[in-house]
């Protein structure tokens, strides 16, 4: 049977090769894994609730360290906290007192150098007497502790006879764990999973394998899970590098196939002279920055091509992305089509609408807004006008996806905050029109390596400057112990007529707890400053949020207490103070986003990072970087170093996949290679029908990227 044929995938409805069937089985086929543990492992390895781990998930659950049991120093020479393997004589059992089980069960032992107690809590005496018979010798391995000059080992990892000793692994891999699964069960399951890996076809270029001196996939995987030293787990190790490249190649190939699919859906060369855009520019009280001008030019060039546009617009907080998006939509409308603008939250959609409406009026463009919470009395006329072609630009949330939303001639979609908006949504929206061009925007400055990884199917424009007149933000770190000083400073600022945000943290990702923290802070500030304090959080109705925001904008309230569940992406140019409570709980990019809510006018602004000490190394580094720079791209690079790619993009919280083997800090060069390789593959073999193409299909299925193969078939 050819490699790209086989039984249907239950998940994707695509044809998975038979050769991978053993790896797609539930982990229940592995020793000691029942239904409960299989589901627990599903949560650990896949980040999903209520689903079993599959055999393949355990293959990619990489160890992060080793336990070396080769060290056999003798009792007297064993260091405190060190793992040691000892050859012990069993002398005496001292059970816990009958009425006090909190006192541990002890077994006195000795070797030629000294004495040691083996310590067991909640022990079964009969089991231990059988395992450790008095007068016999056992090999015992575990962590040595010294307590009042007495050596002890609490719950040894291994207690073996001389005959069993030969079966003990002298070097063991250490894996990320979760409650409900023991180290031993996980190790046995992973070893059994590796044994199930069949001999797979080589999907890598032969010359690359020879040059890098890489082993095939299966031996590399065996080496990853059976390290002989810490060096075997290093990212630069040839076995780990091979597997990292496999993973990177699979993701880059999937992105390239997606791009190919969208490119095949023919585009339209749009004809426009920039008349609407000129009117918008004339209505502005400022001139575009150089990077805005360049981005507008790049987008206009894209729109004039017969291929569909797929462009990512990266811009730091306050760099003017919305305006670039509006100018692009104005060109598309001039060319005779309609445009849609999609924001991640209702609050942001309304804010964008309010920003764009006067500019659209100046240019003679009709603009409307549609969100999921709109009443029928608003929706009906908007939908009718949209279908009749009477609305040029429609602003909305994910409500734009709904079947009832029908454009007469959708030509372009602009999407704010790309990382909340995957390939599938992108396809769904662009299918609402003929040859729809797509511009996606993000205020999270994304490091180059992550752009390639997650948005490799897009061209990129960057806004690197802030609009003229923006003032730098004075950022300070202040301990929570000095909160009274912050309140005094706030009192003086209010007296001078200033406005401030006070942001409360996400508490253990529980909305109720988080709400309590915001409401508690609101109560304390209200007691101090009275009705000048407002509150906005994620559990309010849209009308309540809008009312709270309007009060703050108009100056009726002058302190806005907010949680981060809502995007505090509100544009209040005269708000000049940002207080972030428990700043140590936030990621760098998130802190930078929040800080960017001030400094939007011409007045000088300040940001106070309130932290609770003592700070760990990472938290300290994070706050120091934020204090020292406002460069969003540098901050994003540092954030990647401190936290890893999943958290920088918000994918770890949203359940989207992050890399399991590759580490972009170390494998950025491999990512570049994979990107070039994937493009070359599709140029030479667009249907992936050659022998290598068929092997690469196996690779895509192996990493769960079945969707890309569906695109291949559909294309």
Question: Most confidently modeled of 203-212, 365-374, 586-595?
Answer: 203-212
Q: Say if residue 148 is exposed, middle or buried (CB neighbours under 10 Å; 0-12, 13-18, 19+).
A: exposed
pLDDT of residue 471: 74
Q: List all residues 6 or more positions away from 376 whose beta carbon is below 8 Å from its beta carbon.
A: none
pLDDT of residue 715: 47
**What tokens does 403 get?**
């079947």
Reported residue count of the chain is 715
Q: What is the C-alpha separation between 575 and 500, in angstroms, rounded? A: 6
Q: What is the C-alpha separation between 443 and 446, in angstroms, rounded? A: 9
With contact defined as beta carbons under 8 Å apart, do 157 and 174 qualify? Answer: no
Q: In what order do the strands lie in the sheet with 410-416?
A: 367-370, 393-396, 338-342, 410-416, 437-442, 310-315, 459-463
**What tokens does 235 get?**
């990212």
Please, which residues bridge with residue 78 across strands?
none
Identify the residue whose tokens are 């109705």. Answer: 541
With contact defined as beta carbons under 8 Å apart, do 343 and 318 qualify? Answer: no
Q: What is the C-alpha separation between 397 and 351, in angstroms, rounded? A: 12
Identify the residue whose tokens are 């200033």. Answer: 498
Which 3 state secondary structure label does DSSP give 172?
strand
Considering only residues 48 and 441, tell me which one the structure prediction assigns the higher pLDDT. 441
Tell me the fold of 473-629: Rossmann fold (3.40.50)
Domain with CATH 3.40.50.300 in the chain: 275-463, 473-629
Which CATH number is correct for 275-463, 3.40.50.300, 1.10.3720.10, 1.10.287.610, 3.30.43.10? 3.40.50.300
Q: Residues 313-324, buried b or exposed e (16+ Cβ, 10 A)?
A: bbbbbbbbbbbb
Q: What is the C-alpha separation between 632 and 670, in angstroms, rounded? A: 25
Q: State the pLDDT confidence band at 191, using cuts at 50, 70 and 90.
A: very high
Domain with CATH 2.40.50.140 in the chain: 70-168
Mean pLDDT of the chain: 83
pTM: 0.60
Angle between helices 321-334 and 275-282 (to 10 degrees): 140
Q: State the pLDDT confidence band at 654, using cuts at 50, 70 and 90.
A: very low
Question: Is pLDDT above 50 for 510?
Answer: no
Q: State the pLDDT confidence band at 451, using cuts at 50, 70 and 90.
A: low
Q: State the pLDDT confidence band at 568, using cuts at 50, 70 and 90.
A: very low
pLDDT of residue 93: 95
Q: Say if residue 431 is exposed, middle or buried (CB neighbours under 10 Å; 0-12, 13-18, 19+).
A: exposed
**What tokens does 473 get?**
């933000």
DSSP state of 15: B
pLDDT of residue 87: 93
Question: Is pLDDT above 90 for 539?
Answer: no
Q: Identify the H or E element spanning 51.
A: none
Q: What is the C-alpha separation between 236 and 238, in angstroms, rounded? A: 6
Each residue of 37-90: pLDDT tens digit? 888 888 888 777 778 889 999 999 988 888 888 888 999 999 888 899 999 999
Which 3 state secondary structure label does DSSP give 89?
strand
With contact defined as beta carbons under 8 Å apart, do 139 and 170 qualify? Answer: no
Which 3 state secondary structure label does DSSP give 461?
strand
- Could you write out the DSSP letters of every residue in 610-659? EE-SSPPHHHHHHHHHHHH---HHHHHHHHHHHH-HHHHTTHHHHT----
Give the phi and the psi of residue 253 in degrees, each rounded to 5: -65, -40
**What tokens does 113 get?**
């150098």
**What tokens does 695 get?**
């092997």
Q: What is the C-alpha separation between 702 and 696, in angstroms, rounded? A: 10
Q: What is the mean pLDDT of residues 683-706?
A: 90
3-state helix, strand, coil in the chain (%, to 5): 45, 15, 35
With contact defined as beta carbons under 8 Å apart, do 240 and 234 qualify? Answer: yes
pLDDT of residue 450: 63
Domain 70-168 has CATH 3.80.10.10: no
Beta-strand relationship, 559-562 and 499-503: parallel
- The CA dihedral of 27, 30, 36, 37, to the nearest 10 degrees, is -90
Angle between helices 35-46 and 183-195 (to 10 degrees): 80
Neighbour count for residue 483 (Cβ, 10 Å): 15
Q: What is the C-alpha separation between 463 and 79, in angstroms, rounded? A: 56
Q: In what order do the strands lie in the sheet with 105-110?
A: 145-147, 150-154, 115-120, 105-110, 83-94, 137-143, 158-160
First vs last C-alpha separation in the chain: 23
Q: What is the C-alpha separation between 431 and 262, in angstroms, rounded? A: 10
With contact defined as beta carbons under 8 Å apart, do 48 and 656 qualify? Answer: no
The CA-CA-CA angle for residues 564, 567, 571, to 5°, reads: 125
pLDDT of residue 422: 53
Q: What is the mean pLDDT of residues 455-473?
A: 74
**What tokens does 484 get?**
């009274």
Q: Residues 166-203, buried b or exposed e (16+ Cβ, 10 A)?
A: eeeeeebbebeeeeebeeebbbebbbbbbeebeebbeb
Nearest of 287, 67, 40 to residue 156 by alpha carbon: 67
pLDDT of residue 107: 95
Angle between helices 346-363 and 321-334 (to 10 degrees): 50
Nearest of 176, 219, 171, 140 to residue 46 by alpha carbon: 176
DSSP state of 499: E
With contact defined as beta carbons under 8 Å apart, do 480 and 612 qualify? Answer: yes
User: Which of 169-178, 538-547, 706-715 comes out lowest in average pLDDT?
Assistant: 706-715
Half-sphere exposure of 263 (CA within 13 A, CB side): 15
Q: Say if residue 46 is exposed, middle or buried (CB neighbours under 10 Å; 0-12, 13-18, 19+).
A: buried
Q: Identify the H or E element spanning 489.
A: helix 483-495
Question: Is pLDDT above 80 for 567?
Answer: no
User: Which of 150-154, 181-185, 237-241, 606-610 comes out lowest in average pLDDT?
Assistant: 181-185
With contact defined as beta carbons under 8 Å apart, do 146 and 81 qualify? Answer: no
Q: What is the C-alpha separation between 594 and 613, in angstroms, rounded? A: 21
Q: State the pLDDT confidence band at 658, using cuts at 50, 70 and 90.
A: low
Q: Say if residue 559 is exposed, middle or buried (CB neighbours under 10 Å; 0-12, 13-18, 19+).
A: buried
């Amino acid at each position: 049977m050819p490699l790209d044929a086989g039984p249907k995938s239950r998940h994707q409805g695509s044809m998975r090769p038979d050769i991978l069937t053993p790896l797609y089985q539930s982990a229940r086929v592995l020793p000691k894994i029942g239904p409960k543990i299989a589901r627990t492992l599903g949560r650990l390895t896949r980040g999903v609730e209520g689903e079993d781990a599959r055999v393949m998930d355990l293959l990619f659950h990489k160890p992060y360290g080793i336990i070396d049991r080769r060290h056999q120093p003798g009792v007297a020479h064993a260091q405190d906290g060190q793992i040691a393997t000892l050859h012990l004589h069993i002398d005496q059992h001292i059970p816990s007192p009958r009425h006090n089980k909190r006192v541990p069960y002890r077994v006195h032992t000795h070797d030629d150098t000294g004495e040691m107690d083996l310590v067991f809590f909640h022990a079964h005496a009969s089991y231990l007497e059988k395992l450790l018979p008095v007068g016999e010798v056992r090999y015992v391995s575990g962590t040595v502790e010294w307590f009042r000059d007495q050596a002890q080992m609490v719950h040894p990892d291994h207690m073996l006879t001389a005959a069993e000793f030969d079966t003990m692994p002298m070097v063991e891999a250490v894996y990320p764990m979760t409650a409900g699964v023991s180290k031993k069960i996980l190790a046995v399951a992973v070893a059994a999973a590796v044994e199930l890996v069949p001999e797979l076809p080589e999907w890598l270029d032969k010359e690359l394998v020879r040059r890098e001196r890489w082993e095939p996939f299966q031996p590399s995987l065996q080496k990853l899970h059976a390290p002989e030293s810490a060096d075997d787990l290093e990212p630069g190790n040839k076995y780990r590098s091979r597997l990292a490249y496999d993973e990177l190649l699979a993701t880059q190939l999937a992105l390239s196939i997606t791009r190919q699919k969208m490119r095949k859906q023919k585009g339209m060369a749009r004809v426009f002279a920039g008349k609407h855009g000129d009117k918008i520019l004339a209505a502005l009280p400022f001139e575009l920055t150089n990077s805005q001008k360049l981005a507008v030019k790049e987008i206009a060039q894209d729109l004039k091509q017969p291929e569909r546009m797929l462009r990512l617009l990266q811009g730091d907080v306050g760099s003017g992305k919305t305006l670039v998006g509006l100018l692009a939509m104005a060109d598309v409308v001039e060319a005779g089509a309609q445009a849609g603008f999609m924001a991640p939250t209702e609050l942001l959609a309304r804010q964008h609408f309010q920003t764009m409406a006067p500019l659209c009026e100046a240019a003679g463009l009709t603009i409307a807004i549609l969100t999921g919470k709109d009443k029928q009395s608003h929706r009906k006329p908007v939908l009718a006008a949209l279908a009749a072609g009477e609305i040029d630009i429609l602003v909305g949330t994910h409500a734009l996806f709904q079947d009832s939303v029908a454009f007469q001639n959708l030509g372009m979609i602009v999407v704010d905050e790309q990382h909340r908006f995957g390939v599938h949504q992108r396809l769904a929206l662009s299918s609402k029109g003929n040859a729809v061009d797509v511009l996606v925007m993000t205020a999270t400055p994304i490091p180059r390596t992550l752009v390639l990884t997650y948005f490799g199917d897009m061209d990129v424009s960057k806004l690197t400057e802030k609009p003229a007149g923006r003032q730098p933000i004075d950022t300070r770190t202040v301990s929570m112990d000095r909160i009274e000083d912050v309140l005094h400073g706030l009192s003086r600022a209010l007296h001078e007529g200033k406005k401030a945000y006070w942001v409360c943290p996400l508490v253990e990702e529980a909305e109720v707890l988080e709400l309590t923290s915001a409401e508690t802070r609101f109560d304390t500030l209200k007691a101090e400053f009275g009705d000048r304090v407002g509150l906005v959080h994620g559990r309010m109705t849209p009308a309540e949020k809008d009312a709270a925001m309007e009060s703050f904008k108009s100056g009726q309230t002058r302190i806005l207490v907010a949680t981060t569940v809502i995007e505090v992406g509100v544009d209040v140019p005269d708000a000049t103070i940002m207080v972030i409570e428990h700043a140590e709980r936030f990621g760098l990019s998130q802190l930078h986003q929040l800080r960017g809510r001030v400094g939007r006018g011409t007045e000088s602004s300040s940001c106070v990072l309130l932290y609770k000490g003592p700070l760990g190394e990472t938290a300290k580094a994070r706050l120091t970087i934020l204090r020292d720079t406002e460069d969003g791209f540098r901050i994003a690079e540092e954030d990647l170093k401190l936290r890893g790619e999943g958290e920088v993009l918000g994918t770890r919280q949203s359940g989207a996949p992050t890399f399991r083997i590759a580490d972009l800090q170390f494998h950025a060069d491999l990512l570049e290679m994979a990107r070039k390789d994937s493009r070359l593959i599709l140029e030479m073999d667009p249907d992936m029908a050659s022998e290598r193409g068929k092997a690469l299909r196996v690779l895509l299925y192996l990493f769960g990227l079945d969707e890309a193969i569906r695109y291949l078939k559909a294309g």
